[in-house]
Structure 1
């Protein structure tokens, strides 16, 4: 018989009411057959609390961190010590060491998790009227009962034609701004001289596995072949593209340039987002920190931009082909810019599931080490039109 799942519940003890809720929460886990551990249940007089916590976290399959205002403050405090801070440091150290241990946030109150949890899955328990649904979701995950959404087959690559044209790329510079390190200023006129096809969605895990095999997919968020592939570095994108070109020898596929990506994302618009400047509309078009619930989502579930492209904002960052360089000092009128020939960082566009509204703007770009992998980085591809 398999051993029960070991779960350590990390919590900053507070008021009688909140403490009672946490005990009830942990009891529910135990009734479901999970070995849920709370220090107040097991530490006895004379025992070392630190030794107890260290041993339990070393043995735990999963650490659940109860997110409250006090727990976040305790973890992020500059002051040394504190049991809950020690617990988070222990759990984070195991994760950084590459151990197969999950760290999940349990939102009980507040609006921001501690920095250690901002790229981790969380479950929302802030609304007591929704306790049963939230607990069912958590238990389904912990006990491996998650049923993937109905999927008849992985989505084939669909293409959207992007016509040639000119646009203003970037963001106008503020007066007297220092542009030496600016990511998106000054703006400049760019012409895309040839039409191209761009994948309608980021490349999905099903599409990635189809060409490179299941073992090649090391995405963090799984259970659905139509989630975007993530945790890919720049060379992973090139491996996929080489395989794609090998399967379609009469066609040429590649990453979009940064200019092509922004041109397609804007889709003829000049506002901050392709739907305008009202960021309260963003949840209709993007999975980002306010609605992603700490994870990626199957592609195509948010509304498309005017060209019919989905997930250009949020869900996963997208590698493009350019090496990074500031816009300052470049020509004001460019045709098919490719970026510098060499560099230290590759450009990424679009923002991801754990980013704010700022990162999802059409002009926003960031840069990353081409060897860097992360559970929020994916890509989409261009098919050239002969």
Structure 2
């Protein structure tokens, strides 16, 4: 046994000085004094000696000594309960005072421990010493110690020892009484020579009438130690006999062993097949897919696996499932009316095998479907539509999938199969109207058995021809060359069927056919003559041959205008007068697009449908001997003309006016001219061809009075309507290849910037006129619309975007389109 007590008690610090303080104070002229203070309770038991003379005690907690001489003094503390302590104090001058705080340590006394028998282990206050009896040890005085002696295989004894004070060695002689061995333990379970039914867990149990510290269990050739009176053993071997006994061991190591007991584990028992389905020799099994079922029990509770054998001959069954823990198996694709055989082989976890009988069953023979019922339409129903749904109910006694053949004809002897379905309905379309129809259903099951349904009839309702409203509408629109008319009529079919129309139009009362099988109730006819009466009529046709002829309608176009353009004038689009909000109506634009403001036009105008092309401009150059602009090698033709200055563009406009025998729109200084050749700032008074004003351009680009509010001309998506730097391939493209805007204008966004008549002013929107605006002063002319080489993020193609450029510039990005006021 190991102990640290001896080390603790071998070396003790007897006293320690806690505090020494010095001060100068005089009680009389030639003396020093000393105050001694007890620093702990043990010090209060001490007597104080100075230079060998008793001066008093520290019972009150302190002691003051007067009249000490200057020099060295030996201070001694001693007592019955404390260790003696000495300290030297030095006074250096008269009238000097000192204070000493002293802490006392317990006194020590030797104890010698002996025992009978000797060599007993020693434990003091719960700590074992490394030495055995006899042994001597130093202990603190004033304390009571619990001393225990222990002799293995003999006994032990515990007693108390009080150390009152310092003194001579104390002799502690202890006689250890001899202990009794433990009582013999008695096994109680399993009963000796019994059979144990459970090998998974066996619990051995015994009892003892005393309280030994532990047991040694001898079982199956091994020894196990436990402090409990039971022990469990798992997964024992079936059919094996085991022996066991228990030894009780008390705290002194004394031992007593029980009688030897034995038991035998139950031998393994095989599984038993207790139930099967279908029962043996069953002859009413219904299914092409059958679930074989069985129940297997095991008296030992073992896990069971089964092998399933199946076939159509009892002596040649095939394994279809091996080592399954399930109690069922699905067999599929059984034939109707045929015997089958099967068996189960069950194996437990110890390899014991049990085989069932060979069971048999016979599937039922196939049964045909029942006759269809709940038939719709009922037999003999009349006035039915030409599109209807046949419906019926049907079941199969074997729950087979059913297929239905539909027969239809106009007499009972000439019915033909018109369809086949697995649904219980069938849609008939486009039946002949006003006709008796014969029909029946023939149902087949998945094994070929069939049942024919009853013969039924129904009569469809007679056809009604379309009804044409006697009223019609004609909307006329004149261009500067011809007239176009939007014809509109109203017609309905009593049977709610699709109608087609033949349209007749001409200048006499027997108009000619101009369009056949038209499916709309509107038609736009272009290039009609001015000052002419037209007659028109429609014939409506339904899908069943019903025809209705409408009344003869007529309309008269206006008289021709005073001026009709020739073919050299580029195509134009009519822009009806109106009002709009001009400027950055979406936000995020440039400063010169603000503030937004309302602009009103009091006149209609025409604007070029396309940007002026190289072909059109080259004709002007050929006629006037003017130099043709460079095409950069990209091609001419229908690409927009470029590298033309503002002066070039108005020269083209004046040339057109001269060719068309109209007053010129510009003088040599670029001012607008009215019909009398007088300078004007009112575009509504200019007769000849010109460039659009900035306001006219934006109004037309937004779609005029048909505007849908697009950010680009005709779309919110720039790629749909504009050629710009991201999609142009680095050059102009032929006009008209992107989508038009609401008025049918092309390339108002992108391809080339377009010159306008106005001068540019970046603050013009702050004081612009509200009606027919035109800015007639500045240094740059307005360009609008963006171009093929601008707008990486597409902002230059916005309809609100404004820029100015020198009128003499011939940039590769700039072209134009024409405009003319309507008179």
Q: TM-score, normalised on structure 2?
A: 0.26
1:264 maps to which residue?
A: 700
- Aligned mates of 2:568, 2:750 — CA distance in 1: 19
In 2, Cα distance between equivalents of 1:157 and 1:366: 25
Alignment correspondent of 1:192: 601
Gaps of 5+ in 1: 1-153
**How much has 1:342 moved relative to structure 2?**
1.8
Moved >4 Å (runs of 4+): none
Residue 271 of structure 1 and its aligned partner are, at CA, apart by: 3.7
- Name the counterpart of 2:712: 273
Of 629, 635, 659, 1:247 maps to 659
Corresponding residue for residue 742 of structure 2:
306
Secondary structure at the residue paired with 2:770? strand
**Aligned position for 1:164:** 577
The 3-state SS of whatever aligns with 1:314 is coil
Partners in 1 of 2:568 and 2:742 — Cα distance? Answer: 21
Give the secondary structure class of the aligned counterpart of 1:334.
Answer: coil
Give the unaligned 5+ runs of structure 2: 1-566, 663-686
The CA distance in 2 between the partners of 1:156 and 1:225, in whole Å, is: 16
Partner of 2:629: 218
**SS of residue in 1 equivalent to 2:725:** coil
Structure ID, larger Rg: 2
Query: Does the C-alpha gap of structure 1 residues 216 and 269 become closer, same or farther in structure 2, counting only changes over 3 Å?
Result: farther
Corresponding position of 2:788: 353
Distance 2:759 2:649 in 1: 15
Summarize the Cα distance change of 1:189–1:204 in structure 2 as closer, same or farther, 3 Å threshold.
same
- Kept after mapping to 2: 8 A contact 1:189/1:333: no
Q: 2:779 is matched with which residue?
A: 344
Task: Give distance in 1, aligned partners of 2:591 and 2:578.
Answer: 25
* Equivalent position of 2:48 in the other structure: none
1:199-250: CA deviation from partner (whole Å, max 9, x where unpaired): 1001101100112228532133442311110001111011111111110113
Matched, 1:323 2:759: yes
Provide TM-score, normalisation by structure 1. Answer: 0.55
Cα deviation 1:26-61 (Å, max 9, x = unaligned)? xxxxxxxxxxxxxxxxxxxxxxxxxxxxxxxxxxxx
TM-aligned CA deviation for residue 276 of structure 1 = 4.5
Q: 1:274 to 1:311 in 2, by over 3 A?
A: closer
Structure 1: distance between partners of 2:702 and 2:692: 14
What residue is the counterpart of 2:207 in the other structure?
A: none
- Partner of residue 137, structure 1: none
Q: Give the aligned partner of residue 71 of structure 1.
A: none
Higher relative contact order (CA 8 A, sep 6+): 1
Alignment-derived partner of residue 334 in structure 1:
770
Against the structure 1 CA distance between its residues 329 and 220, is the aligned structure 2 distance closer, same or farther, given a 3 Å change threshold?
Answer: closer
Does residue 616 of structure 2 align to residue 201 of structure 1?
Answer: no
| Superposition pairs of residues 217-236 of structure 1, within 5 angstroms | 217-221=628-632, 222-236=634-648
Greater share of helix residues, 1 or 2?
1
CA distance in 1, matches of 2:715, 2:616: 32
Aligned length: 225
Change (3 A) 1:173 1:295: closer
State the Cα distance separating 1:385 from its structure 2 match. Answer: 1.2
* 2:752–2:787 contact (8 Å) kept in structure 1: yes
Q: Distance in 2 between matches of 1:355 and 1:373?
A: 16
Structure 2 equivalent of residue 369 of structure 1: 806
Kept after mapping to 2: 8 A contact 1:219/1:229 = no
